[in-house]
């Protein structure tokens, strides 16, 4: 249940993060001002970052634990092999999935990919350990706009970014509707709309965030 | 009439290692049930002085939940029915892989027979209503809305066979538990014990070593009685209610 709650909190964060980023379309000043504003929050910003880190860490920790215990519950053909439970198949004939969606089957994998990407993303855009550090404009503002546009001109960065957004979308698609189910919200007439909401959230995130590198490619920004 | 290659799981006892064994059965009619085909095979094994294959069955009419078997990687085989109600004509190809339900909470007793008493212990933990004995109450003393009666009945259709656990990648028993909880949650008789019921059934389920639900939906697809995962939603809601502690 905590996984569901932390997951939903993280969805809120990525949504807010995306809305902030989309200000890139409003032009240089707007995005830079938004970034500067965030930075000027000082302790509040660090508080939020810390909170986010806790939520994120908890989500990762709990899901890894869950995956392990679920693998153990499966029971294994070769019970005393050290790999038992990690070698997926417990039936000799490949198990045939009847309904499980791809996104539901690879949650832990997509989740771990997201973890890796987040580390990379922070190193890149927040701590400037990767790529050139951003310029400071004449009036002393960090030129976030330039940094984003320049980075996405690099096809390696933009393509990996878009791939990541697809992975994120898949994760959120199953994650969101699954979280509603876990919280007991998906009963009776709320079933269909909530499943749809999961899909809609995923599409919104993937398309919204990917629109930035696409716009850079097309020379719109 | 078809001949089949049967690949079946043999295991002498829980603590003995198991293996797949190959047999050939000949002249099997399409109209035979799957278990009749196994009867034919067992008969030939016995004639040859070999140990017959152990498998669970009882009513053979799809109502008791005794029969099991993962057939070609699918719990109860390819149709939405129990193994005993499966006909040979539904089987594609001539190679058949037969394995027991596999879950840590369902240890193999012998060959394809598994120990499903963990399910009984979950029911003992709360899958009942307490009534004072006495005269049987009048049939219509408790008026129940038609829709509620229908929903409760749909959930009550669970025969406790364990196919949901066998099909679930996490070997989770959520569908089974949810069917019972939601059955009783829809009826006034289940009302007074609903909090304790959901809490202790879920506790027992975890203790027995079943996995947790991650909403694959495979259980619903494997269920011979078409129990819907909507029940799991109801179970979760009941659980949240019991934890958050509202009185309704
Ligand atoms: S033997 Fe009773 S349900 Fe199959």
Does B8 share its domain with B95?
yes
Residues B82 and B190 in one domain: no
Element (H, E) at B8: strand B2-10
Helix, strand or coil, per DSSP, at residue A1: coil
Q: Is the pLDDT of residue A136 over 90?
A: no
How many distinct structural domains can be found in chain B? 2
CA B105 to ligand 1 centroid distance, Å = 21
Written as one string, the DSSP assignment of B149-197 is HHHHHHHHT-----HHHHH-TT-B-HHHHHHHHHHHHTSGGGSTTHHHH
Q: Do A100 and B214 touch (CB under 8 A)?
A: no
Name the closest residue on chain B to residue A187, using Cα atoms: B233
Contact B232/B225 with Cβ under 8 angstroms?
no
> How many residue pairs bridge chain A and chain B with CB atoms within 8 Å of each other?
124
- Same domain for B39 and B154, yes or no, is no
What is the residue range of B173's domain?
117-244
Given B89, B110, B131, the domain boundary residue is B110
Phi, psi of B137 (to 5 degrees): -65, 155
Res B184 pLDDT > 90? yes
- In this structure, the number of other CB atoms found within 10 A of the CB of residue A1 comes to 14
Range of weakest confidence among A180-184, A203-207, B20-24: A180-184
Residues B134 and B41 in one domain: no
Q: Is 0.90 topped by the overall pTM?
A: no
What is the CB-side half-sphere exposure of residue A106 using CA atoms within 13 A?
13
Indicate if the pLDDT at residue A5 is higher than 60.
yes
Q: State the average pLDDT over residues B198-217.
A: 92
pLDDT at A78 over 60: no
User: In this predicted structure, what is the pLDDT of residue B207?
Assistant: 93
Long-range pairs for B145-151 at CB < 8 Å and ≥24 separation? B148/B186, B148/B187, B149/B186, B149/B187, B151/B182, B151/B186
Output the CATH code of domain A2-217: 1.20.1300.10
Lowest mean pLDDT segment, chosen from A68-82, A109-123, B166-180: A68-82
- Tell me: pLDDT of A86 over 60: no
Residue A80 pLDDT grade (very low, low, confident, very high; cuts 50, 70, 90): very low
The percent of residues in chain B predicted with pLDDT above 90, rounded, is 76
What tokens does A211 get? 């629109």
Distance A76 CA to ligand 1 centre (A): 25
Q: What is the ipTM metric for this complex?
A: 0.79
Helices B230-244 and B174-185: crossing angle, nearest 10°? 70
What mean pLDDT comes out for the span B143-157? 91
Q: Quick one: pLDDT band at residue A83, thresholds 50, 70, 90?
A: very low
pLDDT of B215 strictly over 50: yes
Q: Is residue A76's pLDDT more than 80?
A: no
pLDDT at A93: 58
B123 and B216 together in one domain: yes
- Range of weakest confidence among A84-93, A176-185, B89-98, B116-125: A84-93
B154 and B197 in a single domain? The answer is yes
Surface of B (90-109) touching A: CB under 8 A: 97, 99, 102-107
Interface test with A, best of B215, B224, B242, B243 (most A CBs within 10 A): B215
CATH (domain of B44): 3.10.20.30
Contact B221 A99 (CB under 8 A): yes
**Residues B47 and B73 grouped into a single domain:** yes
Nearest to B179 by CA among B200, B164, B195: B164
Interface of A with B (CB under 8 A): 1, 66, 69-77, 88, 90-101, 104-105, 107, 174, 177-178, 181-188, 191
- Domain end call among B93, B110, B127: B110
- Check CB contact under 8 Å for A97 and B218: yes
Please list every residue in chain B whose beta carbon sits closer than 8 Å to the beta carbon of residue A68: none
Please report residues of A whose CB lies closer than 8 A to that of B152.
Answer: none
Q: Whose CA is nearest to atom 1 of ligand 1?
A: B60
Two structure tokens written together for A42: 């000082």
- Pairwise CB contact (< 8 Å): B214 & A178: yes
Residue ranges per structural domain of chain A: 2-217
Q: Is the pLDDT of residue A77 over 60?
A: no
Q: How many CA atoms lie within 13 A of B214 on its CB side?
A: 29
Which pLDDT does position B162 carry in this prediction? 96
pLDDT at residue A208 tops 80: yes
Beta strands across the sheet bearing B74-75: B19-28, B2-10, B95-99, B70-71, B74-75
The answer on B235 and B123 residing in a single domain is yes
A34-48, A98-112, B111-125: which has the minimum mean pLDDT? A98-112
């Amino acid at each position: 249940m905590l996984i569901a709650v932390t997951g939903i909190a993280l969805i809120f964060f990525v949504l807010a993060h995306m809305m902030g980023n989309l200000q890139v379309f409003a032009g240089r000043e707007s995005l830079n001002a938004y970034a500067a504003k965030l930075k000027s929050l000082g302790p509040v910003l660090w508080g939020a970052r810390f909170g986010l880190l806790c939520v994120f860490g908890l989500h990762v920790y709990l899901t890894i634990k869950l995956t392990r215990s679920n693998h153990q519950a499966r029971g294994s053909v070769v019970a005393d092999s050290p790999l038992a439970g990690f070698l997926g198949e417990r039936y000799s004939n490949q198990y045939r999935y009847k309904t499980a969606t791809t996104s539901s089957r690879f949650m832990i994998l997509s989740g771990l990919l997201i973890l890796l990407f987040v580390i990379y993303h922070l190193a890149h855009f927040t701590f400037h350990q990767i790529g050139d550090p951003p310029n400071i404009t004449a009036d002393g503002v960090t030129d976030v706009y330039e940094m984003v546009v320049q980075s996405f001109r690099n096809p390696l960065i933009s393509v990996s970014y878009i791939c990541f957004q697809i992975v994120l979308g898949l994760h959120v698609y199953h994650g969101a509707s699954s979280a509603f189910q876990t919280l007991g919200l998906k009963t009776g007439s709320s079933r269909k709309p909530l499943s749809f909401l999961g899909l809609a959230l995923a599409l919104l995130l993937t398309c919204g965030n990917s629109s930035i590198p696409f716009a850079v490619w097309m020379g719109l920004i | 009439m078809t001949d089949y290659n049967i690949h079946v799981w043999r295991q002498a006892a829980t603590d003995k290692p198991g293996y797949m064994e190959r047999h050939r059965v000949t002249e099997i009619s399409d109209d035979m049930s799957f278990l009749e085909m196994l009867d034919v095979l067992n008969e030939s094994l016995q004639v040859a002085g070999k140990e017959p294959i152990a498998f669970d069955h009882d009513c053979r009419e799809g109502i008791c939940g005794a029969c099991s078997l993962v057939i070609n990687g699918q719990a109860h085989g390819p149709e939405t029915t129990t193994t005993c109600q499966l006909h040979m004509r539904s089987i594609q190809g001539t190679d058949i892989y037969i394995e027991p339900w596999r879950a840590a909470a369902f240890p193999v007793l012998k060959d394809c027979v598994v120990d499903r008493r963990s399910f009984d212990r979950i029911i003992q933990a709360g899958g009942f209503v307490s009534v004072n004995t006495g005269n049987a109450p009048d049939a219509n003393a408790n008026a129940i809305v038609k829709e509620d009666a229908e929903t409760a009945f749909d959930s009550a259709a669970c025969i406790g066979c364990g196919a949901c656990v066998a099909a679930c990648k996490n070997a989770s028993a959520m569908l089974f538990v949810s069917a019972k909880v939601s059955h009783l949650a829809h009826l006034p008789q289940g009302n007074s014990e609903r909090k304790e019921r959901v809490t202790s059934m879920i506790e027992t389920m975890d203790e027995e070593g079943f996995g947790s639900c991650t909403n694959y939906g495979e259980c619903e697809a494997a269920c011979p009685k078409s129990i819907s995962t909507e029940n799991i939603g109801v179970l979760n809601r009941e659980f949240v209610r019991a934890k958050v502690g509202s009185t309704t």
